[in-house]
Amino acid sequence: PSLRTAAMAAGPPPLEPNRLPVFSEEGFGEKFLRKTRENPLVPLGCLCTVGVLTYGLISFKRGNTRRSQQMMRARVLAQGFTFVALLGGMVVTAMKSRK
């Protein structure tokens, strides 16, 4: 018999446990901090959006409709900023993974 046939009959080589990669479980807090470090503009945009929305709702409740309308327009701008920051982070991450 050939050497190849003998090797195939022996079966695959045994896996060595020390060579397998070990992955640790990442909790919510660790993942949030990692993502915030990777793209800090997204959480900042979210905080701005929530702040402007809250102030706009308070203004609406107090009857200041002009200020409420201004805050709702500002909220749209803050959401747009957050969306652009999210897309920008995705592009940067994709470019890093190609290198």
* pLDDT at residue 99 greater than cutoff 70: yes
How much is the pTM?
0.67
Q: Work out the percent of the chain whose per-residue pLDDT is above 90.
A: 54
- Asked if the structure places residue 8 within a domain, the reply is no
H or E element that contains 84? helix 65-98
Question: Would residue 89 count as lying in a domain?
Answer: yes
With cut-offs at 50, 70 and 90, classify the pLDDT of residue 93.
confident
User: Got the DSSP string for 9-74?
Assistant: HH-SPPPPGGGS-------HHHHHHHHHHH-THHHHHHHHHHHHHHHHHHHHHHT-HHHHHHHHHH
> Would 71 be classed as within a structural domain?
yes
Q: What is the pLDDT of residue 13?
A: 62
- pLDDT above 70 for 15: no
54 is a domain residue: yes
- Domain tally for the chain? 1
Q: What is the pLDDT of residue 35?
A: 87
- Residue pair 60/52 in contact by the 8 Å Cβ criterion: no
Instruction: Express each pLDDT in 16-36 by its tens digit.
Output: 656 666 667 888 999 889 888
Contact assessment for residue 83 and residue 41, using Cβ atoms and an 8 Å cutoff: no
> Exposed, middle or buried, 89 (CB in 10 Å: 0-12/13-18/19+)?
middle
Query: Residues of 41-61 as b/e, b for ≥16 C-beta within 10 angstroms?
Result: ebeebbebbeebbebbeebee
58: domain range?
A: 35-97
Is 17 part of a structural domain of the chain? no
pLDDT per residue as tens digits for the range 31-65: 889 888 888 999 999 999 999 999 999 999 999 99
pLDDT score recorded for residue 42: 93
